[in-house]
Amino acid sequence: MLTKLQNNDFANIVGGRRSVRNYDENIKISREELREMISEASLAPSSANMQPWRVVVVDTPEGKEKLKPLVQFNTLQNDTSSAMLLIFGDTESYLNVEAIYNEAVRQGKMPADVRDKQMEQIVNYFPNLPREMRIEIAKIDSSLFAMQLMLIARAHGYDTNPIGGFEHDQLAKTFEIDKSRYVPVMILSIGKAKEEGYESIRLSSEQITFWR
């Protein structure tokens, strides 16, 4: 999954997690590398492989100016990061399943009879789910993608900060995304840390694990 992580890098990421808020404004990540990181993160698992995550990359002064009023408690990340990645979940991701599964068959990764059986189940099941459940599925799967994107970014040598404090009801409309279909999940700021940031405390495994 994380081909660029070596030796104890993963342990350092998990064990020494710091909250980065202030980035080096002189560091600009190219769109080519951002695309590469998003592509690598898209290997994350998802329900029925429907891949509901969608990313709006805000990396221009104009885009950040539009975003600024929506992240009033997180403006430092917006002002200094190389980009702000708006993660949305597609509540109608089942509409892409035919194209995904057909390509899997074409590449020899899925037998045609398996495709046909699974597609029939998905088409009959997912559209009839209550909207609340489709939102929950989209958010869970998109969160897996977001976490993987944070690890991928670190493997590329960058820092990230997940942001949940923003105007959820305004994000899609502001960036011209269909809010009836796409639900905001989180915002990731990305760049090179200018300040190390404070190290956060974690509960021990004994406090969060229940054995039965």
This prediction's pTM: 0.89
CB of 187 closer than 8 Å to CB of 85: yes
What's the angle, vertex CA 121, arms to CA 120 and CA 124, rounded to 5? 85
pLDDT of residue 202: 87
Do 194 and 80 form a contact (C-beta atoms < 8 A)?
yes
Instruction: Give the distance from CA 118 to its chain's centroid.
Output: 26
Taking only the tens place, the pLDDT of each residue in 79-120 is 999 999 999 999 999 999 999 999 999 999 999 999 999 999
Supply angle C-alpha 65, 143, 121, rounded to 5.
125
> Could you give the CA distance from residue 199 to residue 193 in angstroms, rounded to a whole number?
13
Tell me the one-letter amino acid at 163.
Answer: I
Joined tokens for residue 120: 């029939």
Q: What is the dihedral of CA 189, 58, 146, 188, to 10 degrees?
A: 20
d(CA 54, CA 141): 11
Low-confidence residues in the chain, pLDDT < 50:
1-15
Give me the torsion for CA of 97, 46, 17, 154, rounded to 10°.
-40
